[in-house]
Amino acid sequence: VDRRQRQMCIRDRLDMHEAVKSERPMLTFDTNGKIPLHKAQFPVEQNKLRYYSDAPYEFLEYVEPMKKGATATYSDRSFKQFYDDVGFDLKPIFMPHGGPNKVKKGKLLKDRKYPISFVGYIKNPEPRGPFENLIWGSDERLVSIVRRASEMNLHEGIEAYVAFRTCALEAGFDPLGIMPLDQLGELLNKMGHWAEEQRRLELLRAFKSHSLHIFGPVMEDVKGVTDQPHHFYGATKGTEVLEVLKESRLLLNTVTKFPDGSHERIWFALAHGCMIYTDASRFVMESFKDDKNILFIDYDNLELDVQRIQSYVVDADTLQPILEQALPIYQQKHTWLQRIESTFRQMPEVSPFMP
């Protein structure tokens, strides 16, 4: 961030604090706990809504201090189990990722520069040992719990905490009594990243004979990816990613941490007229059907599935109708405006004022 941007951020934050001070709002709303309203030199209303973009155990330092009765969102339905078990005196509401309120369809798919794009970093998965080490030296049954849970997370599409909880209960352990909560959060976070990186490389390696356009840092050489004839563009800023989406026919998206939610890349791709090839989460499947208005990854038959995708990309006229079917669904159900309206309607402090 350059000096001018820093000054703007400081000015905007001061303006925000002054607005909260003068308006005395019925509700304060922040994201991921990163706006320190609790440090303001004036009282802030207790009715608080905090949006969390990822699992609650990734934000424990912000979730735990929340005021009694405050509303914390969760971006995947599976995350509700963690809130229920931990017993924080909060009001959790499901609020998955959304996308821009307006669709900017742009060029036809056949006129776009990049046939298949991927946005994200490239690295080898961290060996499972490092996160097993968080409980190393404990009962061997605990190590087995972590091993089994990580496999369930990767291969069965079960969210990290739910998988850990299931294995712990089967072994006769209280899942929240095995280790301190912050240590458990670190363990689950590492498990989730391990599974996601495994899936990411599995998908990219399946495109070994095809030329991908990869936007993101290559953190190390990865066999089957960095030695293939792909185009690597390095680290890409957020605004640049939007330009990539405008010039892409299809975006690869694999995010295993949302088995019953959605990742914003799905919605930002569609909002910029780019078809999406993504994990089949239960939440997304409620609105979309494979091959009709979306393309879901079939990990069980990945080699054949890549051939299907390649045929669509080569003949973009066959891909365009799928995109056209997807856009009205996105606009009707998955923008950020719909997300916030749905959340407000579930909050007693706000719902009476909703139209």
- How far is the C-alpha of 139 from the C-alpha of 180, rounded, in Å? 16
The per-residue pLDDT for 352 is 85
pLDDT digits (tens, 9 = 90+) for 134-151: 775 667 888 889 999 999
Q: In what order do the strands lie in the sheet with 91-94?
A: 28-31, 48-51, 71-74, 91-94
pLDDT digits (tens, 9 = 90+) for 209-258: 889 999 999 999 999 999 999 999 999 998 999 999 999 999 999 999 99
Under the banding of pLDDT at 50, 70 and 90, the label for residue 292 is very high
Across 92-118, b (16+ Cβ under 10 Å) vs e yields bbbbbbbbbeebeeeeebeebebbbbb
- How far is the C-alpha of 285 from the C-alpha of 280, rounded, in Å? 7
The per-residue pLDDT for 227 is 94
The per-residue pLDDT for 44 is 59
**Secondary structure element (H or E) that encloses residue 36, with its range:** none
Among 23-37, 70-84, 184-198, 242-256, the minimum mean pLDDT is found in 23-37
The per-residue pLDDT for 8 is 47
Helix (H, G, I), strand (E, B) or coil at 234: strand
| pLDDT of 125 over the 60 cut | yes
The residue type at 299: Y
Mean pLDDT in residue range 100-116: 97
**Secondary structure element (H or E) that encloses residue 293, with its range:** none
Closest CA to 129 of 175, 186, 183, 190: 190
pLDDT digits (tens, 9 = 90+) for 71-99: 999 999 999 999 999 999 999 999 999 99
Structure tokens at 304: 């054949």
> Phi/psi of residue 220, each to 5°?
-170, 165
Helix (H, G, I), strand (E, B) or coil at 289: coil
pLDDT digits (tens, 9 = 90+) for 162-180: 999 999 999 999 999 988 9
The per-residue pLDDT for 2 is 42
Mean pLDDT in residue range 108-126: 95
| pLDDT of 299 over the 60 cut | yes
- In this structure, how many other beta carbons lie within 10 angstroms of the beta carbon of residue 345? 11
User: Which residues have C-beta within 8 Å of that of residue 264, sequence separation ≥ 6?
Assistant: 97, 98, 99
| pLDDT of 282 over the 90 cut | yes
Mean pLDDT in residue range 183-212: 93
- How far is the C-alpha of 238 from the C-alpha of 66, rounded, in Å? 30
pTM: 0.89
Across 292-313, b (16+ Cβ under 10 Å) vs e yields ebbbbbebeeeeebbeebbebb
Q: Which stretches within the chain are classed as H helix? A: 3-23, 60-63, 80-86, 128-132, 140-155, 160-170, 181-206, 238-246, 264-271, 282-285, 302-314, 316-333, 336-345
- In this structure, how many other beta carbons lie within 10 angstroms of the beta carbon of residue 196? 21
- How far is the C-alpha of 324 from the C-alpha of 241, rounded, in Å? 22
Place of tokens 């990580």: 150
